[in-house]
Structure 1
Amino acid sequence: MTNFINVKDIQIGVGTPKICVPMTGRTVTDLLAEAELIQSNRNYVDLVEWRVDFFSEFEDLSKVMTTLSSIHGLLEDLPLVFTFRSLEEGGEREIHPSYYFELNKAAAKSGMVDLVDVELRHREEDINQLLSVIHENGRFGILSSHNFAATPSKSEMVEILERAKKLGGDIPKIAVMPTSARDVLALLEATVEMQEKYPETPIITMSMAGQGAISRLSGEVFGSSVTFGALKKASAPGQIEVADLKRTLEMIHHSLLK
């Protein structure tokens, strides 16, 4: 039986994939405007991700925490994912690993985020320490891997997701770039294999760019529990506008019930 993670009454891992919208503002003013826009489109949004690597003052921890407080105040009823995506994994900026972990630990301890995205590329001992802080504070950890250059083989993608699970990630995540239709199929096959082997663990998988768009729509069929949609600015290639995404996900869901 498939298990799920419950975050503010949002059940991640059952039913229709949950729609997560990224916030990519570079200034506090931009971010608060995004938060207000998200609230005005609340019917299309299940989760919000703050992509801190877009924020111009990310190096100032106190400023990040103050801004997080403002965002939380506007989006208090929506689950919030805290993410600093490094340059190596398709993000906007690179930071020193020590600050990366300091930043994420501070977010986990703040009580203002519900999930923290942790990149799987870091040292296992550092990941374990951060996950301990996340779990001690009653939050969930997404262990993620992003490849903006290519799509690994199906078996390699399953290995990456299994490693994330074995390290204690509550939600293993992988995003890859396709160069052919077969790459997209490989991602979907890896998703099905993980869902069949570990039905108790919600996962997030996606094939990026236009060629991989089907993977953002078909999560309920193949086993991916969250999909990312654009409301203002996409944070990755291939993100679909949330209203179109919502309609398509609901259409697929109702078809599966017939």
Structure 2
Amino acid sequence: MRTVKINELEIGAGKPKIAVPLIEATTEALINTAKQVCQEPIDMIEWRLDFFTNIHSIEAILKTARQLRRILDNRPLLVTLRAKDEGGNYQPQIAEYTNIYQELIKSHLVDLIDIEVLQPTTVIRPLVQLAHEEQVKIIMSNHDFCKTPPATVLQARIEKMTNYGADIAKFAVMPQSREDLLTILNVSIQHANLADGIPLVAIGMGHQGKIIRIGGEIFGSCISFGAVGKSSAPGQIAVAKLNEILDILHE
């Protein structure tokens, strides 16, 4: 499996990297939380832009991104505008969705953006092209908060992400049984064994999915999303505890 290097961080090699989502609604709250989060053993921050009250103002978005950039120092900043049908907090019009990401990419204030693979092709391809021209990485994602799709479906979606030019593939599903957990792990292992496969983030949500969140290095998932205070998805583990477990597994 390939790796992706952002600043000094190599994603896809060694211990899974710890990312913390920020879901605060205002710039002030985001900045305060980011300062707190950066005192924890984290590798990157995800700004969940779909929770931001000033989402209709490009000026406010870029101003906030600029402040976050200063706080994070060399840590990568991932920005995610999650659609409601994939568990997000806001359903933007396609034109606004595209424009927000275009402006963030051109600003050079962000290191990665997250695009859902089920967005229209006419949205995905231009954004991927622009991002790569501007040296911004793409996490392409898919989320199912109700179930774990069959392995063939997950594999097909990862292949689609790869064909679109994603730098990192991500799927987050809701396991309902031990068999679902095995599905997630088997898909992760098979992908990790591909010599030219892009890095994969495999997430099991909910209580049962916690084993997936901590087993990344063994089974092939490269990023684990942890919580400092509020969580953005069910089953996220507190960062300090997550880091301790990942360190033990990495020994």
The answer to whether structure 1 residue 63 and structure 2 residue 55 are counterparts is: no
Per the TM alignment, residue 155 of structure 1 is displaced from its structure 2 partner at its CA by 1.2
Q: Identity of counterpart residues, as a percentage? A: 33
* Counterparts of 1:228 and 1:198, CA distance in 2: 25
Instruction: Tell me which of 225, 228, 232 is aligned to 1:231.
Output: 228
* Counterparts of 1:197 and 1:156, CA distance in 2: 18
Bigger mean CA offset, 179-188 vs 221-230: 179-188
Instruction: Tell me which of 46, 49, 58 is aligned to 2:43.
Output: 46
Alignment-derived partner of residue 159 in structure 1: 156
The DSSP-based 3-state class of the residue aligned with 2:225 is strand
Partner AA of 1:236 in structure 2: A
Instruction: Tell me which of 170, 194, 197 is aligned to 1:197.
Output: 194
Partner AA of 1:32 in structure 2: I
Per the TM alignment, residue 166 of structure 1 is displaced from its structure 2 partner at its CA by 1.0
The DSSP-based 3-state class of the residue aligned with 2:140 is strand
Give runs of aligned pairs for residues 203-242 of structure 1, distance below 5 A. Answer: 203-242=200-239
Contact kept? 1:118, 1:143, Cα under 8 Å = yes
Alignment-derived partner of residue 127 in structure 1: 124
Per the TM alignment, residue 199 of structure 1 is displaced from its structure 2 partner at its CA by 4.8
CA deviations over 1:213-233 (Å, ceiling 9, x no partner): 000000001100001000121
CA deviations over 1:73-119 (Å, ceiling 9, x no partner): 21122100010111110011111111111111111111111011011
Per the TM alignment, residue 200 of structure 1 is displaced from its structure 2 partner at its CA by 4.2
Alignment-derived partner of residue 36 in structure 2: 37
TM-score (norm 2): 0.97
Alignment-derived partner of residue 242 in structure 2: 245
Bigger mean CA offset, 177-186 vs 193-202: 193-202
Contact kept? 2:4, 2:199, Cα under 8 Å = yes
Per the TM alignment, residue 125 of structure 1 is displaced from its structure 2 partner at its CA by 2.7
The DSSP-based 3-state class of the residue aligned with 2:182 is helix
Per the TM alignment, residue 3 of structure 1 is displaced from its structure 2 partner at its CA by 2.6
Contact kept? 2:191, 2:197, Cα under 8 Å = no
Contact kept? 1:24, 1:51, Cα under 8 Å = yes
The DSSP-based 3-state class of the residue aligned with 1:206 is strand
Partner AA of 1:161 in structure 2: I
Instruction: Tell me which of 142, 147, 170 is aligned to 2:144.
Output: 147
CA deviations over 1:120-158 (Å, ceiling 9, x no partner): 111113201000111010110011111111110011111
Alignment-derived partner of residue 8 in structure 1: 7
Instruction: Could you tell me which runs of 5 or more consecutive residues in structure 2 were left unpaired when the two chains were aligned.
Output: none
Partner AA of 1:110 in structure 2: S
The answer to whether structure 1 residue 105 and structure 2 residue 97 are counterparts is: no
* Counterparts of 1:96 and 1:54, CA distance in 2: 15
Bigger mean CA offset, 71-80 vs 83-92: 71-80
Instruction: Tell me which of 68, 74, 78 is aligned to 1:77.
Output: 74
Alignment-derived partner of residue 25 in structure 1: 24
Alignment-derived partner of residue 187 in structure 1: 184
Bigger mean CA offset, 56-65 vs 204-213: 56-65
CA deviations over 1:188-226 (Å, ceiling 9, x no partner): 111111111355421111110111000000000110000
TM-score (norm 1): 0.95
Structure 1 segments of 4+ aligned residues over 6 angstroms from their partners: none
Contact kept? 2:114, 2:141, Cα under 8 Å = yes
* Counterparts of 2:68 and 2:122, CA distance in 1: 31
Contact kept? 1:134, 1:140, Cα under 8 Å = yes
CA RMSD of aligned residues (A): 1.1
* Counterparts of 1:157 and 1:197, CA distance in 2: 15
Partner AA of 1:154 in structure 2: A
